[in-house]
Structure 1
Amino acid sequence: MRELVFWVGSLILALLIIWLIRLLYFKPVNINHFFERVMLKFALRYPEILTMIRVLEKFGIYSHNKKLNNLSDKFIQKEIKRIEREFQILKSYDRESLSDKDRLSYDIMEWFLGDSVEGGKYKYHSYPVNQLFGVQNQLPSFMVSFHQINTLRDAKHYIIRLKKFKKAFMEVEEGIEIREKKNIIPPLFVIEKVLMEMENFIMTPAEENILYKNMEKKLKKLNKISPKVQEELLEKTKKAIKDDVYPAYEILINCFKRLKPKGVKDVGVWNLPNGDQYYQYLLKHYTTTELTAEEIYNIGIKEVERIQGEIKDILTRLGYNDNKNVVETLVELGKDERFTYPDTEESREQVLLDYQKIIDRIDSSISDLFNIRPKGKLVVERIPPFKEKTAPGAYYNPPSMDGSRPGIFSVNLLKLPVKWDMESLAIHEGIPGHHFQIAIQQELKNMPTFRRVIPFTAYVEGWALYAEKLAYEKDLFSDDYSKLGYLKSELFRAVRLVIDTGIHYKKWTREQAIEYMLENTGLDETSVVIEVERYIVMPGQATAYKIGELEILRLREKVKKALGEDFDIKQFHDLILKTGAVPLKILGEVVDKYIEKRAC
């Protein structure tokens, strides 16, 4: 009997291995297996993603937590070829024979892979190290935010990763040198800001570095590790920072010092080889539409005019009837002591508490708008001070898929916010904005994994802007000043359409873009400079927000008109959220099918 059990077990194991080999290396018969294979092979190539989503730990697999992503040119070339192969395999399936559900997944995957293949043509048309992102700030942030330290093994893996910084930085340097040969060189301001950031980072004594402090903070919570072992781990962490992390930064510092004399003044991608075609690709990539740069520019101009008119109406209602334009009045209100915090560390702690209060209040006020809610929790945290000078005002990181880490609304407290701006930002990044949509998407059942995690910027950012609009429509803002904060936020996104296309299509200078934003938003100059410089190194991305919001609003009106009294806002939100992130064209097709089904 024991022999029979052994042979049956061996047979099952052999069949499982054969199935896995076929799944990984040959065309799966079931298209859903193909979908899972695409995501599995992608995730297995990026250990940092595996650490972030935490799906392997429950199976006792931890080895990825001591590795960093491969950033070499050779690896990138292989990835492009792999995606091209997967795209061809996808197209070999008979789409018409699939169920409606699988056909939708097919269309989403087809768009995603096709877009990736097209993007491969422009693999060097970017600045991999800039004032917003790159190994110099993303790796420390990743180690702090996503590398959990719950056991001795986790702590050892943390130190191993620190020792691999040098290899990662050398791989990035290789990519920069390839771009240099192709005359793709960052603007001078990018080079100067990155140099300052990296030089400041290595000037900090190792025991005061955020990577050391992070280990120290997390070890203090682990009673199961003795004080002696904790001391040894901290000493090894300090040594790794001195011997591996700081020398890694020196590699890129020397690289950028050499690049500095070549830094360019023309900031638009039109200045790059085939720059116009590249920009049109980026607009399609980010907006998931066929809109041209000229069309997006014109949409922006019209939206700026409309929103400024609404702001003027509220200012009139509040008694601001002087001859100043709306922007001048917004600037003055931003300095009003009623709406500002004292510039102290105590105030910074209070800001985080106040954001949490806003989120809690909004969360308790939307039961008549949503059937579905995320299970994942949301916390508010400060952006690490070493990143504040170049980081955006706020951003969101989703919860881990195993539930061990909550969603995080990260706030930049270099400059304290104006109080009447805070509600719109909390709604956008938190509830019912990014946290609502992204956490719900991760929690969706009975659909391919890629549809639970893949982002499409126009949908994701469009939803967050739509969430702000919804709160405005439903009178969830606490007063007229916070409504002004929302309109100022909406105006900001409309201005982005004009500036992004202005820089990369109409050949505006950095100074022209800054001037336009100052004249049309009411933002302070520091914030404006950060934003404009963001659009320069992330061309096209800023256009996705408003285009996505406008499309969701258009689709809602379409459903309202078709269903009349049968329209249910909760069901509409269910439809959008339970579909997950999709290209806008496909979202329109989903809505059309919903209308057709309801009309029957």
Structure 2
Amino acid sequence: MRASVILATLLLGVASVPAMAQDAAPSPAPTAAKPAPGPIDAKLRALYDAEWEWRQKENAQVKEGNRWVQGDRFSDETAAAQARRLAYWQDVLKQLDAIPMDQLSPEEQVNAAVFRQSVWENAKWLEYKTYEAPFNSDTFFWGGLNPRQGFGNATGYKRYLGRMRDIPRYFDENIVNMRAGLKRGYTVPRVGIEGRDTTIEAYTVPGEANPFYDAFRVMPQSIPPAEQAAMRAEALKAIETSVVPAYTKLLSFMRTEYMPKARTTIAAYALPDGKAFYQDMIKVFTTLDLTPEEIHEIGLKEVARIDADMQKTMRETGFKGTFPEFLQFLRTDPQFYAKTPRELLGAAAYTVKKMDGKLKDTFNFLPRYRFTVLPVPDVIAPIYTSGRGGLDSCLFNTYDLPQRPLYNIPALALHECNPGHSFQAAVALEAPDRPDFRRQTYFSGYGEGWGLYTEWLGSKIGIYETPYEEFGRQTFEMWRAARLVIDTGVHTKGWTRQQAIDYLASHTALAPRDVETEVDRYISWPAQALAYKLGELSLRKMRAKAEAELGAAFDQRPFHDTFLMLGSVPLPVMEQKMEEFIAAEKAKLAKAGK
């Protein structure tokens, strides 16, 4: 099933990271004027420019400078709107098929590949009517509607007030869709949503205690005091008349109607047209044409390889017991756990700052845009993953600290923050020579592959200071490899939830809470978890080839710049462009006589 807060952003392709309540991001650096495109290039550009503007308007976005930002309402979620979008995207694909790809310029060939995958994905989501299950165990259409931070100007607050007032309509449309899903047996698995209804409760509280009011507590001084007071009063009224009633109604629906009737099966194959659905989800999330059987075998091989690495690192710590005893030691010894949320956040911030000192040796291009480190909001922390990074902020979960080992923090911070997703999003924002749709399109195989690659990179540039931290990195790598086995096992081979939990727990040092949270995520979000390891394997394959063919002349800085400057692309396109990078570097060496 789709993630629902991300339902709008991924389904309609609005952003590569969760939307943040801030001023529009800085404009990309100016670039030199280009010659006029040829007629075939111009035809493609007209198609993707028109589609992108239509897409933003469908998602209720408004233009601010050269960025699209959230407007004063939410998108239309009715079945009629979904059918209209599907027809539009199917027509766009037909128009794209009529364009001779071999007559496009090299740059536009990349744009065409990205555009095709993006539009195909959006059409597939709607063909399977995934909007009828608009959330999963990890992400919800009712969450994330209130911002993590305030707004930079009065316009941002006024749009936010409009969205608050629009929540009842938005929720009602989602409820209608969910009832349609229940009727045809298309729901989130019951086991994957146990307890998720509690994430609604905080929003049923009236007055200033409601999280929707948080953005109004500290407002910019540029907004006059009288206007601030007026908007705060409007916020309290919107909370009373729109937010609280809508969330209260949703909570009742979830507890009395949806959850009791949600399906008890867990496999994607058990869904209507489930076999085709899962195969298409593999293509959506990995951009690769692999079968579940092929992915399962890749996972088993990676698990075996990483297990040997973990055994070696365990011996380097001096531990004398068995591997299961070592895992128990890591999960229970107080030395590995923060005593306060501030201590955990400090460990994350230390890794982020330590990586800052390595950036000049790792990249040539350094983006200007900066992110902050924040705790996961209390309202979702009990069921949220350990961390998540985006353009504006990088979140770390400080709930239940005895389940948050510090030896995992360096790898997590690299992946989510720097030089992982937050850094990656900033580069994508500021990279030149890219159409608007390319700046905000996201493919999990590319993006999550980079995140996992940066964890591995940390071991090459001196980030991990102890064998325990290296073991934390390895347990994260094993976690992603085990996903290949678990996801395909659950959705195509009849694995039970407990079988998946036992497999993940026995191969990693993840805390029990994380193990269960992650397995529930795989159950309710078929194929999404496959992107990480497959993307990383693809990128590491290209690095190994570059190192082999360039020898001592290999420089990781232009290699990384080339990858990130591509922006998010399908993995086959990434490999093609990295092949071109290697060929160009070899040509330089040949010309220099080296």
When normalised by structure 1's length, the TM-score is: 0.86
The aligned counterpart of 2:216 is: 215
8 Å contact from structure 1 (residues 339, 418) kept in 2? yes
Deviations 1:503-542 (A, max 9, x none): 1011112222112222221222211111111111111000
**What is the alpha-carbon distance in structure 2 between the residues aligned to residue 134 and residue 374 of structure 1?**
31
Residues 356 and 379 in structure 1, CA contact (< 8 A), matched pair in contact too: no
In 1, Cα distance between the equivalents of 2:313 and 2:41?
A: 59
The aligned residue for residue 439 of structure 1 is 426
2:516 paired with 1:555: no
Alignment of 1:258-337 (within 5 A): 258-322=257-321, 324-325=322-323, 327-337=324-334
Q: How does 1:524-535 map to 2 (within 5 A)?
A: 524-535=511-522
CA distance in 2, matches of 1:249, 1:69: 18
CA distance in 2, matches of 1:200, 1:131: 18
In structure 2, the CA distance between the partners of 1:563 and 1:223, relative to structure 1 (3 Å rule), is closer
Match of 1:413 in 2: 398
Please show how residues 75-474 of structure 1 align to structure 2 within 5 Å: 75-124=81-130, 127-140=133-146, 143-145=147-149, 148-151=151-154, 153-190=155-192, 192-202=194-204, 204-216=205-217, 218-219=218-219, 221-222=220-221, 224-226=223-225, 229-256=227-254, 257-322=256-321, 324-325=322-323, 327-342=324-339, 347-398=340-391, 407-416=392-401, 417-474=404-461
- Give 1:149 deviation, angstroms: 4.9
Offset at residue 124 of structure 1 (A): 3.4
The letter for the 1-side match of 2:47 is F
Aligned to 1:164, the other structure's residue is in SS state helix
- Of residues 90-99 and 551-560 in structure 1, the stretch that sits farther from structure 2 once superposed is 90-99
Q: Which residue identity lines up with residue 106 of structure 1 in the other structure?
A: A
3-state SS, counterpart of residue 480 of structure 2? helix
Kindly indicate whether structure 1 or structure 2 has the higher relative contact order, using CA contacts under 8 Å at least 6 residues apart. Answer: 2
Unpaired stretches in structure 1, ≥5 consecutive residues: 1-26, 51-55, 399-406
Paired letter, 1:559: A
**1:584 Cα deviation after fit:** 0.9
Distance in 1 separating the partners of 2:151 and 2:484: 39
Using the alignment, how far apart are the partners of 2:66 and 2:437 within structure 1?
A: 20
Q: What amino acid is the match of 1:113?
A: V
- What is the CA distance between 1:190 and its match in structure 2? 4.3
Distance 1:286 1:126, change over 3 A: farther
CA contact (8 A) 1:115 1:285 kept: yes
- Contact kept? 1:131, 1:193, Cα under 8 Å: no
Aligned residue number for residue 498 of structure 1 = 485
Aligned-pair CA distance for 1:29: 4.2
Q: Which amino acid aligns with 2:356?
A: D
Rg larger in structure:
1
Mapped contact 1:409–1:429 kept (Cα < 8 A):
yes
Distance 2:471 2:107 in 1: 42
| Residue aligning to 1:540 | 527
The structure with the largest helix share of the pair is: 1
Q: Which residue of 2 aligns with 1:19?
A: none
**Distance apart, 1:240 and its partner CA:** 1.5
Q: Tell me the secondary structure at the aligned position of residue 552 of structure 1.
A: helix
Q: Distance in 1 between matches of 2:131 and 2:241?
A: 33
Letter in 1 for 2:398: L
Matched, 1:39 2:26: no
Counterpart contact for 1:119–1:281, Cα < 8 Å: no
Return the alpha-carbon distance in structure 2 between the equivalents of residues 504 and 340 of structure 1. Answer: 34
Match of 1:571 in 2: 558
The letter for the 2-side match of 1:408 is S
What is the DSSP-based 3-state SS (H/G/I as helix, E as strand, rest coil) of the residue aligned with 2:388?
strand
Cα distance change on mapping 1:156 and 1:388 into 2, 3 Å:
same
Query: Counterpart amino acid of 1:338?
Result: Q
The range that moved more, 116-125 or 276-285, is 116-125
- Give the whole-Å Cα distance in 2 for the aligned partners of 1:124 and 1:72: 13
Any idea what SS the aligned residue of 1:370 has? Answer: coil
Please say which of residues 565-574 and 461-470 is displaced more in the overlay. Answer: 565-574
Equivalent AA in structure 1 for residue 104 of structure 2: L
- In structure 2, what is the equivalent of residue 57 of structure 1? 64
CA contact (8 A) 1:331 1:524 kept: no
Q: What is the aligned partner in structure 2 of residue 17 from structure 1?
A: none
Distance of 2:509 and 2:347 partners within structure 1: 23
Checking the alignment, whether the CA contact within 8 Å between 2:300 and 2:485 is kept in structure 1 is: yes
Q: Report the counterpart of residue 469 of structure 2 in structure 1.
A: 482
Q: What SS is found at the alignment partner of 2:382?
A: coil
Change (3 A) 1:452 1:57: closer
Change (3 A) 1:100 1:233: closer
Q: Quick one: which amino acid aligns to residue 304 of structure 2?
A: E
Kindly provide the CA deviation profile for residues 240-259 of structure 1, in whole angstroms up to 9, marking residues without a partner as x.
Answer: 21221121123323332123
After superposition, the Cα gap between the structure-2 partners of 1:74 and 1:432, relative to the gap in structure 1 and judged at 3 Å, is: same
Normalising by structure 2, we get a TM-score of: 0.86
Where structure 2 has 5 or more consecutive residues not aligned to the other structure, the ranges are: 1-39, 588-594
Deviations 1:156-210 (A, max 9, x none): 33322211110000010111112122121332234542333324542x3432111
CA contact (8 A) 2:82 2:126 kept: no
Aligned residues: 545
CA distance 1:447–1:245, shift in 2 (3 Å) = same
Q: Tell me how far 1:59 sits from its aligned partner.
A: 7.8
SS of equivalent residue, structure 1 residue 320: coil
Paired residue for 1:8?
Answer: none
Relative to structure 1, the CA distance from residue 59 to residue 274 in structure 2 (aligned partners, 3 Å threshold; closer, same or farther) is closer
Kept after mapping to 2: 8 A contact 1:441/1:578: yes
Deviates more, 1:379-388 or 1:369-378: 369-378
> In percent, how many aligned pairs have the same letter?
27
One-letter amino acid of the structure 1 residue matched with residue 268 of structure 2: V
